[in-house]
Amino acid sequence: MSLILKLASRNLLQDRLRFVATIIGIVFSIVLVTIQLGLYLSFDRMVTTMIDHAPADLWIVPLGTKCFEDPSLLDEHDQTRALSVQGVTEAVPVVIGFTQWTVPSGGTTPVFIVGSNPGAAGLRPWNVVDGNLDALAAPHAIAIDKTYFARLGVTGIGDSVEIREHKAQVKAITSGIRSFTTTPYVFASLDQAQAYMGASPNRVSYFLVHVSPGADIAGVRQRLLASISKVEVLTPDEFRNRSRSFWLFGTGAGAALFAGALLGAIVGTVIVAQTLYSSTKDHLNEFVTLRAIGSSSVYIHKVIIWQALLSAVIGFSIAACIGLAIVWLTADTSLPIVMTPVLTLGLFVLTVLMCVVSAISAIVQVMRIEPARVFKQ
C-alpha cells in the first residue's frame, strides 16, 4: 500500500467514532439523494407512460393542451376531417379523464379512465398478467393494474364494481401500469369510458394518427392543421416533452424533488467537510511536520483527498446497498423508486465530488500554516 494511502486511511480510522459519524452522514445524504432522484426518474417515466405505449405517428390534441391528463375535449367529427387528409390511414379516438370509483366496502376513490375502441390501434393496456385484451370488447369490461387492488377493493378477474354509478367488471389485470399521481388507471372501451366520465358521446380527448408508410410526417401535420381548427398536431416526442415539462417543472413537482436532492448533497458535503476539517485539525502536527520536511503541496493534498475518497467509497457502497433495497421494496408499490446504471454512476460521481469539495476546507487549513510552526509544538 502506498504511504500516502496508508497515512490517509489511518488518519481516518484513528478516531473510529468520528469515522462512523462521517460514514453515516454520507450514507444519509446519498440515500436521500437516491430517493429524490429515483422518484424523479420514476415520475419522469410515469408521466409519459401512456404516450410511450400509444402506437401513434402523430397526436391530434385540443389547442393549448398542457399534458396527457389535460381535460380539454375534441369534437368526434374531427376524425372524419383527419381521415380526409392525404397520408392519414387512421385517426383513432381516445378519451381520458378522471372519475369516481365506488369501493365495494364503501366510499369512492378517484380513478383515471383511458378509453379506446377494442380492436383499433388505440391506447390499449399492456403487460396483461391475467385475463386478455379481447375480453375488453364485452359490455362493461375494464382492465386495472394489480398494484391498486387494495385501493379499489378488488381481488381479481370477474369482480364487479361501479364507476360513477355505471356497472363495470374486471376482465383483464395488468402489472406495472402506474400513475405518477397515484390515481389508478382504468382501461375501457371508448363509449364505456365516455359513460364512466359522464362525457358526451361525440367528444373525445385525442386522435392517434397513423400515416401511410413512407409518408412525410411533417407534411401530414401541416395538412392536418390546415384542415382542423382549434387543435394542435404533435409528434409523440413533442407530446412527451410537453407532458414532462408541465408535470415536472410547471407544477413544481420536479423542482421539489431536485431541491430535496440538492439538500441531501449539501447536508452530506457539510458533514464530510466538518469531519475532515476536525480530523485534519487533530492531525495538524503531522501535516505541519510533512510541510517542514519538504513535502510538496500536492503530496499533502493527496493525503487529505485520499481521506475524502476513502470516506466516499465506503459511504457510497453502503448507500448503494440501501438504495437497492429501497428500489426492491418499492418496486410493486404505487410510488416505485427507480435506479438506473446511469443514476448509480452519477450518484457515485456526486459522492466523490461531495467528499473532494469537502476536503477543500481541510486543505486550506493545512496550507495556511507556516512550516516553522513545527518548532513551537
Partner 1 sequence: MTGPVVEAIDVVRTLGVGAGQVEALKGVSLSVACGELTLLMGPSGSGKTTLLSVLGCMLTPTAGTVRVRGRSTTGAGAGELARLRRDYIGFVFQSYHLFPTLNAVDNVRLALDVRGERSARAIARAKDVLVTVGLSHKENAFPSELSGGEQQRVAIARAIVGNASAILADEPTGALDSENGHAVMTILAKIAKDPSRGVLVVTHDPRIVPFANRIVHIEDGRILGEEPGGA
4 sits near partner 1 (criterion: CB under 8 A): yes
281 sits near partner 1 (criterion: CB under 8 A): no
CB of 10 to partner 1, least distance (A): 3
Supply the angle between the helices 16-47 and 341-367 in degrees, to the nearest 10.
Answer: 140
- In the 8-state DSSP scheme, what is residue 67? S
Q: What one-character-per-residue DSSP string does 136-181 give?
A: GGSTTEEEEEGGGHHHHT--STT-EEEETTEEEEEEEEESS---TT
Give yes or no for a contact between 19 and 315, defined as CB atoms under 8 angstroms apart: no
For the chain, what is the radius of gyration of the CA atoms? 29
Toward partner 1, which CB reaches closer, 12 or 248? 12
CB within 8 A of 10, min separation 6: which ones? none
Q: In the stretch 299-338, what mask flags binding to partner 1 with x, by CB under 8 A?
A: x---------------------------------------
CB of 279 to partner 1, least distance (A): 12
244 sits near partner 1 (criterion: CB under 8 A): no
Toward partner 1, which CB reaches closer, 11 or 65? 11
Residues of 289-321 as b/e, b for ≥16 C-beta within 10 angstroms? ebbeeebeeeebbbbbbbbbbbbbebbbeebbe
Query: If you search the block for the grid coordinates 385475463, which residue do you land on?
Result: 131
297 sits near partner 1 (criterion: CB under 8 A): yes
CB of 294 to partner 1, least distance (A): 3
CA neighbor of 235 nearest in space, from 46, 30, 60, 102: 60
Q: In the stretch 345-374, what mask flags binding to partner 1 with x, by CB under 8 A?
A: -------------------------xxx-x
Q: In the stretch 55-74, what mask flags binding to partner 1 with x, by CB under 8 A?
A: --------------------
CB of 330 to partner 1, least distance (A): 42
Q: In the stretch 128-167, what mask flags binding to partner 1 with x, by CB under 8 A?
A: ----------------------------------------
CB of 370 to partner 1, least distance (A): 7
Four-CA torsion 82, 84, 87, 91, nearest 10 degrees: 40
375 sits near partner 1 (criterion: CB under 8 A): yes
Give the interface segment with partner 1, choosing from 148-156, 261-269, 282-290, 358-366 (CB under 8 A): 282-290
212 sits near partner 1 (criterion: CB under 8 A): no
Residues of 67-89 as b/e, b for ≥16 C-beta within 10 angstroms? bbbbeebbbbebbebbeebebbe
The interface with partner 1 within residues 10-49 (CB under 8 A) comprises 10-11, 14
Toward partner 1, which CB reaches closer, 17 or 226? 17
Give yes or no for a contact between 357 and 305, defined as CB atoms under 8 angstroms apart: no
282 sits near partner 1 (criterion: CB under 8 A): no
CB of 286 to partner 1, least distance (A): 5
Where does 164-280 show beta strands of DSSP type E? Answer: 166-174, 185-188, 203-204, 206-211, 231-234
Give the interface segment with partner 1, choosing from 103-111, 190-198, 201-209, 288-296 (CB under 8 A): 288-296
Q: Which three cell numbers stand for residue 21?
A: 459519524
3 sits near partner 1 (criterion: CB under 8 A): yes
Which of residues 286, 317, 344, 365 is near partner 1 by CB under 8 A? Answer: 286
Q: What one-character-per-residue DSSP string does 3-61 give?
A: HHHHHHHHHHHHSHHHHHHHHHHHHHHHHHHHHHHHHHHHHHHHHTHHHHTS--SEEEE
Which of residues 72, 295, 317, 330 is near partner 1 by CB under 8 A? Answer: 295
Q: Which residues bind partner 1 (CB under 8 A)?
A: 2-4, 6-7, 10-11, 14, 285-286, 289-297, 299, 370-372, 374-375, 377
